Amino acid sequence: MDVSVKPRRLESYLAGHWQRGAGDGTVLRDAATGAPVAVIDASGLDFAAALDWGRRVGGPALRAMTLHDRALMLKALGLRLMEMKELFYAESFATGATRADGWIDIEGGIGTLLSYASKARRELPNTRVLTEGAVEPLSKDQSFSAQHILAPRHGVAVHINAFNFPCWGMLEKLAPTLLAGMPALIKPASQTAYLTELMVRKIVETGMLPEGVLQLVSGAAGDLLDHVDGQDVVTFTGSAETGRRLRTHPAIVANSVPFTMEADSLNASVLGSDAAPGTPEFDLFVKEVAREMTVKAGQKCTAIRRAFVPRAHADAVIAALRGRLAKTPIGDPAAEATRMGPLASLAQREEVRARTRDLRAEAEVVSSDPDRVVLASGDAEAGAFLGPVLLYCDRPGAAEAVHDVEAFGPVATLMPYDELEEAVALTQRGKGSLVASLFTDDPGVAEEAVIGMAPFHGRILIGNRAAAKSSTGHGSPLPMLVHGGPGRAGGGEEMGGVRGIAHFMQRTAVQAPPRLLGAVTGRWSEGAATQAGTHPFRKSLADLKIGDQLVTGPREVTLADIEHFASFTGDTFYAHMDEASAKANPFFEGRVAHGYLVVSFAAGLFVDSAPGPVLANYGIDNLRFLTPVYPGDTLRVRLTAKEINPRANADYGEVRWDCRVTNQRDEAVAEYDVLTMVAKVWPPE
C-alpha cells in the first residue's frame, strides 16, 4: 500500500445516514506493512436515536414481510455481494488474511447468507409467525386448544463482533436476524472494521434492504447499551472478560435483554488410541492440527489450542507437525505463495507473545521461536508476523496454564495421555469450548470419547479415513449446525438453521378456540371450522381456503385385497398372511391389512383423477397407524386443507392436508399429513 495515500475516514450508518464521529479518531494499519488504512471514530453519535430508528422504521418493514419474502431478499442480496467479492478480497489483505483466509470470511459469510435463504424457503412456511410443536388439545370436546408460536421481537439486534472475521462474523448473525423479522445494528471490532464498513456500504448501495433494517457503528460503542430495552437482543463475540462486563451491563440486567456470547475457547483435538503412526487417522490429525494453527494465523475462535495424543506416539506427532509447519510459507498475504499471513495488528502479536510466555511456564517450545520469524516475503518488523508455535507439556494433569490461557494466534500445546479416560478428562479442563475433534476409526473409542466430551463442547467432529474427503474439518462452523459452547465459551448458540432464527423471536403459548387459533397461525387444527363443496383438489391456491374439506365414501377391505397387495409388493409379513401367527401376536386378532395398503386405498378415495391445480404429491409427514384393519372393515377418509404456503416468485405453492382414515366404527386407523404442490391459478394463464 502507498503510504502517501491518506487513509479513508470510516463512517457509521445510523438512522438512515452515513455519519462521522466528532473526534480525531484512531488510525488503523495494514497488518502486513504497517501502512495506514483507515481512521475510525464514533464519538458523539446518537445511539439512542439509532435504536429508536431501527425499532420504528426497520422493524415494521420487516414484520410486514413473510418469511419467504425475507428469504428471497437475503438470496438476492447474497448473489449481489458475491458479484462484488473481489472488492472485499482486495480490502481483506490489509487484515492479514491470505486469499484462502479471505475465502472463509468473504465467500463463507455470503454463503451462510445464501444457505439461510435456501433453508427458510425449504423448511419454513410463508407466514409472518412460526408455529412450534403440535397443537395441544385442552378440552375433550375440542373447543379449546393451544399452540406455541414464535413472533419477531419488536426491538433491534445489537451485534458486537470480533476482529478476526469482519465479513462472516457480521453475515452469520445478520442472516437469522433478518429472517426472524428483526432489524440489526452491527458493531465490528475496530482493528478490521474497514472491511465491514466497505461491505455494509455496498449493501446499502444495493437498496435491497428496507430502511432501518441494517445499521453500523464504526468505532467505540459509547453509551449504546445504555439504551437497550426488553425487546432488543445483544450478541457478543470476543474475550470472556469483555463479555462478562457487557452481560452485567445495568440496562441488560434491568431489562432482561437476551444476551448471547461467544468467548474464549481452548478447543481440543484428540488422537485416538487406535490411531498409530502410519494410519490414515494419524495423518489426518497432524494435517488438521497444522491447518488450525496456520489458517487465519490461528486467529479463529474454533482453532485447536490443545492437542492430546497417546504418550507412545508423542514423539512421532511432534516430528510430523514440526516437518509440516516448517513447510508453511509465511509472508505478505497478497503474495500467491504465502500460506500464512500476519496477525491482525502489532498489538495482537505482542498479546500472543505474552500469552505464549505464560504457557512456557508449563510447556517447552518444540517448533518455531515465538520471538523470531522467518519470512518468505514481507517485513518482519513492520508487519505483525509470528511463526506457528508448537509447545509440549509432558504432565498435563498437573498443569494449569495450558488449560486456562488462550494465545489467540498460531499457538498450540501438545500433551500426552495414557488412557482414553484421561484424555476425555483433560478436554474437560478447558471449562467449556466451542468445538473438539477426535481422530479414530474405533467405534468404542468414538462412543466413550464423545459421550464424555459432549457436555463440555458445542460441537464435536470425528475424523477418520471414511470421511477424509468430505469432512468440513475441525474449525468450520456451518449454518445448519449450532455454533457456540458452554462455560468459558460463553454459553450461547448461533446459527443452527431454524434454531438460529428462533433466538430473535419471542416464544408465546396461545390458548384459544381452534378457529381463532388458526386465524393466528394460518394452520387448521381439530375442532376448527370446515367447509365442504367443490372437491378441494379442483381448487387453485386462489380459491382454496384453510378448512376446505372432503369426506369420502366407504371402501371395504377384503382378504383378496390383502393377498393381492402382498403378492404385488412382496410384503408377505406373517401378520398379513398367516391367521394363526397373526392371532398369536398380542396386537392383532387375526390377519390384518398392510398399513401401506390402507394409505393406498385412502389415496384412491380422496384423489381427483382429472388434470387440475394439484401438480404433484411430494411426501407424507407424521404417518401413524392407530387401529388394525381387518378383512371386512370399511374405510373412509376425511381430507382437510391444513396449511397453505404460496411460494414467492413462483406459480405454485405447497399445501399441507390433514388426512384421517377411519373404519366403520369411526375409529381412526391412520392419521398423517399429505403434502402437495398446487398451482396458484388454474387453468394456467
The residue with cell 482493528 is 191
pLDDT at 3: 46
The single residue of 172, 281, 301, 654 carrying the catalytic annotation is 301
Question: What is the reported pTM?
Answer: 0.88
Is the Cβ–Cβ distance between 267 and 306 less than 8 Å?
Answer: yes
Can you tell me the distance from the alpha carbon of 338 to that of 546, in angstroms, rounded to the nearest whole number?
60
Can you tell me the distance from the alpha carbon of 108 to that of 126, in angstroms, rounded to the nearest whole number?
27
pLDDT at 627: 95
Q: Cα dist. 310→396, 447, 544 in Å?
A: 12, 18, 65
pLDDT tens digit sequence for 606-642:
999 889 899 999 999 999 999 999 999 999 999 999 9
Give the contacts of 194 (CB within 8 A, at least 6 positions apart). 8, 10, 28, 37, 38, 40, 91, 94
* Tally of residues, the chain: 685
Who wins on pLDDT, 498 or 224? 224
Which secondary-structure segment (H or E) carries 52? helix 47-53
Can you tell me the distance from the alpha carbon of 541 to that of 232, in angstroms, rounded to the nearest whole number?
37
pLDDT at 204: 97
With 60 as the cut, is the pLDDT of residue 1 above it? no
Query: Percentage of the chain surpassing pLDDT 70?
Result: 99
Average pLDDT over residues 51-64: 96
With 70 as the cut, is the pLDDT of residue 395 above it? yes
With 50 as the cut, is the pLDDT of residue 524 above it? yes
With 50 as the cut, is the pLDDT of residue 458 above it? yes
pLDDT at 2: 46
Q: What b/e readout covers 150-165, taking b as 16+ CB neighbours within 10 angstroms?
A: bbbbbbbbbbbbbbbb
pLDDT tens digit sequence for 537-596:
999 999 999 999 999 999 999 999 999 999 999 999 999 999 999 999 999 999 999 999
Average pLDDT over residues 29-56: 95
301 is catalytic: yes
The residue with cell 500467491 is 336
* Predicted confidence band of residue 217 (pLDDT cuts 50, 70, 90): very high
The single residue of 11, 91, 197, 262 carrying the catalytic annotation is 262
pLDDT tens digit sequence for 83-102:
999 999 999 999 999 999 99
Query: Among the listed ranges 2-16, 21-35, 78-92, which one has the minimum average pLDDT value?
Result: 2-16
Query: Percentage of the chain surpassing pLDDT 90?
Result: 85
